[in-house]
Amino acid sequence: MDELDPCDSDAEGSELSDSFDDRQLTAAEVEGDPVPAVEGLSISGEARPGRFLQVCGWAINGTTRCDFAWARCSESGNFSYIEGENKATYLVTADDVDSYLAIEVIPVGNGEQMGEPVRIFANEHRKISCDPEMQEQIERNFFIGHSSFDVFLSVGCNNTWVTVKLVIEREGFSIKNNRSPRISVEEKFSPSIAITISNGHSSGFLIHCTEGSESLFLATESSLLRDVIVLTMRLFTVRAVKKQEQRSIKAVKKWRRMKRCLFF
């Protein structure tokens, strides 16, 4: 049987609803006509950040195309579709680390007749993790407490890219350059800071700063370097926020001890 053309890397899925369970059977399906389907569905490629995955399979029962939807599943079972990822190929990112990655495929036949959705997990249904070299680099940055990267920052209304130095430290980060336009950004890590991967840019990411500050759009030379920076910054942020919480707890305990001394 011929290989499934709809699973080719150039094939694009059609618009998908929030849930495949909302699909309704057509009259042809009710009458018992062969329902579009796929066989031998599998995911090839190494499920690591910076690597591409490819869906493979065979079309049967008159399937003319497939709709695709990549999704992440947490350890608790929460399942969420990844916005914009509706092709047969997928670039694994830092957002997938420590989650289960899956794809749902809906075979579609003539007259938009839809078959049963099929879901399979990447990485043999194991959590996505970094490769050893990448993990070692992130851990080294964390234990040293300092790391710097040459990145590109989008500035101005025309989104001009400027080369800057991103410095990540235990308490916060800074972005600076030594040429025009002069750029100098310094921020402390806090619960309000978030680092997210940009949709539609293979190596871009956003730093959402404290309230009242504009988000910073940065990019790197590769998606792999982008993922290293994102995971490093998230790790530093978690550590800094935990230290801030510990200091706050200590301050409250100290205040309570002082209060007791005032009355006894």
- Check which CATH number belongs to the domain holding 95 and give it: 2.60.40.2700
Strand partners, 69: 104
For residue 231, being part of any structural domain is answered with: yes
Q: Are residues 69 and 151 in the same domain?
A: no
Of 84, 106, 125, at which residue does a domain stop? 125
Whole-angstrom distance, CA of residue 39 vs CA of residue 107: 10
SS (HEC) of 127-166: CECCCHHHHHHHHHHHHHCEEEEEEEEEECCCCEEEEEEE
Q: Are residues 109 and 171 in the same domain?
A: no
Number of structural domains (the chain) is 2
For residue 103, being part of any structural domain is answered with: yes
Q: Are residues 137 and 254 in the same domain?
A: yes
- Check which CATH number belongs to the domain holding 223 and give it: 2.30.29.30
- Domain of 204 in residue numbering reads as 132-259
Q: Are residues 116 and 18 in the same domain?
A: yes
- Kindly report, residue by residue over 178-213, the tens digit of the pLDDT: 887 788 899 999 888 899 998 878 899 999 987 667
For residue 167, give the amino acid letter. Answer: V
What is the arithmetic mean of pLDDT over 78-100?
Answer: 95
Across 26-30, 80-84, 111-115, 143-147, least confident range? 26-30
pLDDT above 90 covers a percentage of the chain that reads 61
For residue 264, being part of any structural domain is answered with: no
Phi first, then psi, for residue 124 (nearest 5°) are 55, 40
Scanning the structure block, which residue is given the tokens 């694009």?
12
Strand partners, 70: 103
Of 92, 125, 158, at which residue does a domain stop? 125
**Average pLDDT of the chain to the nearest whole number:** 84
For residue 79, being part of any structural domain is answered with: yes
Q: Are residues 151 and 84 in the same domain?
A: no
Q: Are residues 16 and 88 in the same domain?
A: yes
Q: Are residues 121 and 136 in the same domain?
A: no
Q: Are residues 121 and 148 in the same domain?
A: no
Q: Are residues 151 and 211 in the same domain?
A: yes
Tell me how many degrees the CA angle 85-131-100 measures, rounded to the nearest 5: 40
Whole-angstrom distance, CA of residue 13 vs CA of residue 7: 9
Q: Are residues 138 and 181 in the same domain?
A: yes
Q: Are residues 81 and 56 in the same domain?
A: yes
Whole-angstrom distance, CA of residue 171 vs CA of residue 193: 12
What is the arithmetic mean of pLDDT over 109-129?
Answer: 94
For residue 89, being part of any structural domain is answered with: yes
Residue 38 contacts residue 58 (beta carbons within 8 Å): yes
Of 125, 143, 177, at which residue does a domain stop? 125
